[in-house]
Amino acid sequence: MQPLPLTGYTVFEIGQNVAAPFAAQILGDLGAHVIKVEKPAGDDARHWGPPDWEGAAAMFQTLNRNKVSQTCDFRNPAQVNALRIQLLEEADAVIQNFRPGVLESLGLDEASLRADKPELVYCDMGAFGRGGPLSALPGYDPLMQAYGGLMSVTGEPGSMPVRTGYSVIDCGAGMWAAIGVLASLLQREHHGNGARVEVSLFETALGWMQVAGAQYMASGESPGRHGSGAASIVPYRAYAARDGHIVIAAGNDGLFRRLCEALDHPEWTEDPAFIGNPLRVLHRDRLDSLIQEQIGRHDRAHWLDVLRAAQVPCAPVQDTAEAFTCEQAQALGVVQPVPGSSMKLMGLPLRLDGQRPAIRRAPPALQPVQSKEEDCREHLG
């Protein structure tokens, strides 16, 4: 088997919570040697339970595989200096999400390190990004879902603002960070110099809102909430069957025709209010009501059979247990065993030459701070 693409690269993660650990884990899954630098008490996410799982919160465990851990007391100048030397000697890339100014005061910022090692790739992950009146403020995923507009388009019409169920901004920022680091490492192969990669939670939130932003800039009106539906496509939402919900996505006239025939109402295609998607959007309430009446007559399994036979895109609304144990997830092998552990975790959601990169190392246990002679040395997980 060929080595993983990032075999031979060393990445230091000086961060905690979700965004930076997720970014570093992606690189670790792709073969990089990832050293997670933690404060003596450890990453806060270690304690974000219940549920706990083999010594740490399940959230921590799923964000920190394929890494080794070392502790560093950032209030101890000797330990900070030892870490700086280690970075200059070993690091190909650094990913950090400390508050603005913290690492600058310690000489661990991009400018200080790249002055001595210009080939270093250094990724700053911030809340609001460098520049602007909010740059110094802290940020967390729900704050950015609010500030970036995501909450304004999530949920049912007229409802209270809600966030997406999990940290899509944190994980999205982690993905952008990993992409930026990969691009910079590739650039270094060609030109020799490293780079400063800048990623922020706020920019990530705006990135997820790019369609809503385009719709606003085109019309002058802010899109609102449409529940499980979409602002500009109808029918394209969840409907209640007898035993649960099913999402139907009839995104063009041909699919709408097939849907109407599958629902035994081909005459809907001739209704002047439903001819073409723009009219269906204008008359969404009436059309959704007609479709709901039909879907409510049978259970999900019936409609999945009928709609799939008619080649109408559809899916049951599955809970977590259903999603991870369904036949498709099993066939793809997305859940992987963790070496030296009874845990199983979601693997990297991509395959290289047909193979999903395997989990090579369990998430690292937090080691106690060692003696001064051993400060900031690597602890194997």
Contact 57, 366 (CB under 8 A): no
Which among 109, 141, 170, 375 is annotated as catalytic? 170
Q: Residue 261, CB half-sphere, CA atoms under 13 Å: how many?
A: 11
Q: Which two tokens stand for residue 31?
A: 């073969």
* Token pair of 288 as six digits: 């959704």
Asked whether 234 and 280 are in contact (CB, 8 A), the reply is yes
Confirm whether 271 is a catalytic residue: no
CA distance 306 to 259: 10
**Considering just the CA atoms, what is the radius of gyration of the chain in Å?**
25
d(CA 231, CA 211): 10
How many angstroms separate the CA atoms of 90 and 139, rounded?
A: 30
| Residue 328 β-bridge partners | none
Q: For residues 381 and 43, what is the distance between their CA atoms, to the nearest angstrom?
A: 14
In b/e form, how buried is each residue of 195-214, taking b as 16+ CB within 10 angstroms? Answer: bbbbbbbbbbbbebbeebee
> Any idea which residues carry the catalytic annotation?
170
